[in-house]
């Protein structure tokens, strides 16, 4: 009988080992949580209601996250890394639920706050049953209620503890069914995920080719427009077309990475295809703007005689108002110091000069229209329209001068402060750029002059301050963006570094724990992971993420190789006495989970039964586990 039970338990261990090591590799990496409840799997119906329910737990110390998968990681390792990345403390408890691989991990302190034991107990058969039925809202609500009850000193109802012998005896049959059923479901989910990814990939490739054709057509259209309207009239079109080309070149570069011999994970493929679609959309937007501008140009060509006539009429109207400008400025002298009106007094002469330039442009347009050359008349009509707009702006400023002068002093101080902030950015970011240094020197001189001027012309100085700031801003924009990218890169490197550190630690602990059955291959991979980790610390920042990811990959391979070695050793020794220790080690882990679940009222009456982890976390005082549903 004893030998028979031994063979039964050995079968349980083998099935369990196969079950745990057959999980598919997805790629939802551990991340820092920003809220007590996050549904990155988009599974629940009412996020806000669940967040409110979870934060009812005393101290708001319960954290729950739903993901689609655990990136091929052990559920307990995943939840532990997320716990640490989020910076949770000893009073917090974290539960992470995978909606596709149908497992969960939990992590908490062993003695303080929401303890590991309380979380384990709160994840009872009722909660697991609701999760198994994909009643995510109800399952998480019940979990929060259970935790609240336990934290407040209450106890959960549990069914009778009778039938233990039947439970253990039936574990073999049900465990086999569980494994078969799980394998089938996983294959179905993997096939569905692969199909979705294939659809996304085909969509991205199709959109890339379609937009590339559109860009090529647009390039021909720009050349045609240049021949029609001249180089000056089509400069902006060429610039827009180049932006679209740059976006597409980036998209094709990503496509080449996807097609190269080095495979990406499904999550990486999904992200890269989505980036291609975003770049295609960027190029499409640029082409759409170009098409709209082309249409405006052609509309103008179609009605250029009427347009030149309208502009001529507008010039005549503004000329009749010039004598009134001097009277308006004289009236302002009664309310404001003469020093504040210096720039306004130059406006009439400026307007006169601008109107003369408009008339000259219109005369050139009329010359081409006389020969019925409308396309050649278009650039002159556009130039006349833009110059006339400048003259109209000066008219508007004089009309708005009473209000502008009243607020000019206040705006003067704000403009100085704004330009001073840009100078500070230039000192920090642009010291190696000669154009920025030159613009910064001009800005500093302007601020010095503005502050030292007695009775300043606020309108003129405000305009000069804003113009100088706009030029410095334009030069600073790329380096500001680069600085932001650098900062984001540093933050991402830090996250990946911690993930690598935790993965290496987990691999080291696993190999140490089962060292008697782990060979040189696993240890070599672990040594390689540690070498990558050390090399990343001294590598250029732009390369560090890649090297840390290599460390993570090597550490994960180390664990997987060790797991395969243990499984192969178990299968090799079979029922021989030489395998008793290894079999006992694995069986005890599995059966401990079974017995613990029974003590809490767990049942294996359905295929979701549940499985528990192989122990606690590596940090002192903390622990966790995993369960299937």
- Residue 311, pLDDT > 80, answer yes
Strands (E) located in 102-252: 103-109
Structure tokens at 89: 């403390």
- Residue 598, pLDDT > 60, answer no
Maximum average pLDDT range among 208-212, 233-237, 324-328, 567-571: 208-212
Q: Are 412 and 446 in contact (CB under 8 A)?
A: no
Beta bridge partners of 95: 64, 106
Whose structure tokens read 């070498």? 531
Q: Quick one: pLDDT at residue 144?
A: 92
Mean pLDDT of 571-583: 49
* 77 or 542, higher pLDDT: 77
Q: Quick one: pLDDT at residue 339?
A: 65
pLDDT band of 270, cuts 50, 70, 90? confident
- Residue 521, pLDDT > 90, answer no
**φ/ψ of residue 432, rounded to 5:** -95, 0
Chain centre distance of CA 407: 42
* 607 or 114, higher pLDDT: 114
Its sign, for the CA torsion 447, 448, 449, 455, is positive
Maximum average pLDDT range among 20-29, 125-134, 323-332, 376-385: 125-134
- Residue 29, pLDDT > 60, answer yes
The rounded distance, in Å, linking the Cα atoms of 263 and 235 is: 42
Return the closest-CA partner of residue 466 out of 488, 487, 447, 485. Answer: 447
Whose structure tokens read 């669940």? 50
Q: Quick one: pLDDT at residue 3?
A: 41
Strands (E) located in 361-430: none
Q: CB 200: neighbour CB atoms within 10 A?
A: 17
Return the closest-CA partner of residue 495 out of 84, 59, 12, 76. Answer: 84
The rounded distance, in Å, linking the Cα atoms of 189 and 195 is: 10
Cα–Cα–Cα angle for 465, 469, 470, nearest 5°?
120
Return the closest-CA partner of residue 30 out of 601, 497, 567, 419. Answer: 497
Beta bridge partners of 624: 107
Mean pLDDT of 370-383: 79
Return the closest-CA partner of residue 597 out of 161, 13, 264, 106. Answer: 161
The rounded distance, in Å, linking the Cα atoms of 220 and 294 is: 13
Q: Are 185 and 25 in contact (CB under 8 A)?
A: no
Question: What mean pLDDT is reported for the chain?
Answer: 75
pLDDT band of 587, cuts 50, 70, 90? very low
pLDDT band of 228, cuts 50, 70, 90? low
Return the closest-CA partner of residue 594 out of 584, 585, 604. Answer: 604
Its sign, for the CA torsion 119, 121, 127, 131, is positive
* 487 or 617, higher pLDDT: 487
* 19 or 215, higher pLDDT: 215
Q: Quick one: pLDDT at residue 137?
A: 93
Q: Quick one: pLDDT at residue 107?
A: 92
* 233 or 396, higher pLDDT: 396
Q: Percentage of residues in the chain with pLDDT exceeding 70?
A: 72
Return the closest-CA partner of residue 555 out of 497, 620, 621, 622. Answer: 497
Expressed in angstroms, the distance from the first to the final Cα of the chain is: 32
The rounded distance, in Å, linking the Cα atoms of 145 and 20 is: 30
- Residue 44, pLDDT > 50, answer yes
Return the closest-CA partner of residue 101 out of 169, 15, 193, 9. Answer: 193
Mean pLDDT of 459-466: 80
Which helix (H) or strand (E) is 469 found in, with range?
helix 458-513
The rounded distance, in Å, linking the Cα atoms of 241 and 216 is: 9
Q: How do strand 62-67 and strand 622-628 relate by DSSP bridges? A: unpaired
The rounded distance, in Å, linking the Cα atoms of 295 and 301 is: 10
What is the SS3 assignment for 190?
helix
The rounded distance, in Å, linking the Cα atoms of 579 and 561 is: 19
CA distances from 436 to 140, 255, 431, 470, 480 (A): 55, 37, 7, 12, 12
What is the SS3 assignment for 159?
coil
* 399 or 603, higher pLDDT: 399
Beta bridge partners of 38: 65
Mean pLDDT of 143-163: 73
Structure tokens at 63: 């954290």
Q: CB 300: neighbour CB atoms within 10 A?
A: 21
Structure tokens at 70: 């655990």
- Residue 182, pLDDT > 70, answer no
Q: Quick one: pLDDT at residue 251?
A: 84
The region, left, alpha or beta by phi > 0 then psi within -120 to 50, assigned to residue 455 is: left
**Per-position b or e across 318-331, b if 16+ CB within 10 A of its CB:** beeebeebeebbee
- For 574, half-sphere exposure in the C-beta direction (CA atoms, 13 angstrom radius) is 2
Q: Are 416 and 466 in contact (CB under 8 A)?
A: no
Return the closest-CA partner of residue 524 out of 555, 546, 487. Answer: 555
Mean pLDDT of 237-251: 79
- Give the list of residues 6+ apart from residue 493 with CB closer than 8 angstroms, or none: 541, 544, 545, 548
Predicted confidence (pLDDT) per residue in 551-564, tens digit: 898 898 888 888 88
- Residue 572, pLDDT > 90, answer no
Mean pLDDT of 114-128: 90
How are the residues of the chain apportioned to helix, strand and coil, as percentages rounded to the nearest 5?
Answer: 75, 5, 20
Full strand arrangement of the beta sheet holding 622-628: 37-39, 62-67, 93-98, 103-109, 622-628
- Give the list of residues 6+ apart from residue 488 with CB closer than 8 angstroms, or none: none
Beta bridge partners of 93: 62, 108
Structure tokens at 148: 């609240």
- Residue 388, pLDDT > 90, answer no
- Give the list of residues 6+ apart from residue 325 with CB closer than 8 angstroms, or none: 347, 348, 351, 395, 398
Maximum average pLDDT range among 59-68, 242-251, 400-409: 59-68
- Residue 167, pLDDT > 60, answer no
pLDDT band of 588, cuts 50, 70, 90? very low
* 456 or 449, higher pLDDT: 449
Mean pLDDT of 264-271: 79
* 10 or 143, higher pLDDT: 143
Return the closest-CA partner of residue 339 out of 435, 409, 411. Answer: 409
Mean pLDDT of 435-458: 83
């Amino acid at each position: 009988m004893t030998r028979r039970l031994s063979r039964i338990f050995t079968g349980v261990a083998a099935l369990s080992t196969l079950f745990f090591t057959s999980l598919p590799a997805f790629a939802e990496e551990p991340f820092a949580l920003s809220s007590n409840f996050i549904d990155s799997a988009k599974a629940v119906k009412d996020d806000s209601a669940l967040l409110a329910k979870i934060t009812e737990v005393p101290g708001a110390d319960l954290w729950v996250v739903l993901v689609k998968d655990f990136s091929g990681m052990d559920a307990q390792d995943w939840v532990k890394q997320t716990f640490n990345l989020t910076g949770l403390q000893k009073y917090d408890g974290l539960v992470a639920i995978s909606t596709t691989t149908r497992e969960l991990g939990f992590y908490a302190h062993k003695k303080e706050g929401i303890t590991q034991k309380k979380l384990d107990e709160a994840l009872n058969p009722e909660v697991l049953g609701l999760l198994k039925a994909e009643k995510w809202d109800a399952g998480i609500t019940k979990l929060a209620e259970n935790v609240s009850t336990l934290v407040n000193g209450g106890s959960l109802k549990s069914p009778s503890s009778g039938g233990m012998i039947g439970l253990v005896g039936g574990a073999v049959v049900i465990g086999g069914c569980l494994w078969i059923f799980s394998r089938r479901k996983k294959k179905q989910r993997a096939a569905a995920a692969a199909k979705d990814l294939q659809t996304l990939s085909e969509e991205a490739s199709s959109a890339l080719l379609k937009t590339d054709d559109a860009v090529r057509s647009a390039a021909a259209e720009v050349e045609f427009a240049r021949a029609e309207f001249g180089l000056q009239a089509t400069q902006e079109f060429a610039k827009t077309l180049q932006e679209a080309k740059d976006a597409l070149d980036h998209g094709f570069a990503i496509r080449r990475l996807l097609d190269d011999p080095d495979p990406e994970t499904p999550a990486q493929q999904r992200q890269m295809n989505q980036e291609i679609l975003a770049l295609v959309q960027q190029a499409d937007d640029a082409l759409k703007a170009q098409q709209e501008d082309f249409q405006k140009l052609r509309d103008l060509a179609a009605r250029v005689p009427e347009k030149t006539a309208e502009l001529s009429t507008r010039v005549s109207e503004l000329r009749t108002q010039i004598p009134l400008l001097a009277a308006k400025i004289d009236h302002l002298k009664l309310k404001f110091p003469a020093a504040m009106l210096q720039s306004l007094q130059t406006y009439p002469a400026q307007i006169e000069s601008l109107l003369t330039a408009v008339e000259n442009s219109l005369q050139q347009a009329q010359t081409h229209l006389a020969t019925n050359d409308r396309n050649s008349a278009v650039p002159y009509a556009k130039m006349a329209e833009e110059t006339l707009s400048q003259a109209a702006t000066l008219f508007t400023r004089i009309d708005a001068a009473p209000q502008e002068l009243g607020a000019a002093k206040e705006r003067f101080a704000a403009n100085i402060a704004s330009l001073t902030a840009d100078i500070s950015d230039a000192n920090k970011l642009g010291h190696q750029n000669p154009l920025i240094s030159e613009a910064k020197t001009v800005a500093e001189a302007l601020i010095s002059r503005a502050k030292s001027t007695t009775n300043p012309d606020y309108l003129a100085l405000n305009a000069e301050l804003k113009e100088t700031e706009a030029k410095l801003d334009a030069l600073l924009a790329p380096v500001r963006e680069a600085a932001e990218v650098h900062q984001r890169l540093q933050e991402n490197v830090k996250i990946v570094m911690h993930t690598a550190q935790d993965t290496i630690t987990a691999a080291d602990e696993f190999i140490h724990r089962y060292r008697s059955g782990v060979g040189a291959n696993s240890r070599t991979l672990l040594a390689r992971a540690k070498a990558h980790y050390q090399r990343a610390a001294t590598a250029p920042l732009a390369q560090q993420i890649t090297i840390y990811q290599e460390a993570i990959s090597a550490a994960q391979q180390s664990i997987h190789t060790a797991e395969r070695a243990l499984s192969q050793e178990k299968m090799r020794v079979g029922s021989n006495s030489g395998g008793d220790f290894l079999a006992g080690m694995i069986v005890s882990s599995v059966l401990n989970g079974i017995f613990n679940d029974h003590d809490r009222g767990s049942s294996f009456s359905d295929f979701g039964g549940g499985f528990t982890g192989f122990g606690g976390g590596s940090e002192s005082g903390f622990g966790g586990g995993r369960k299937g549903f």
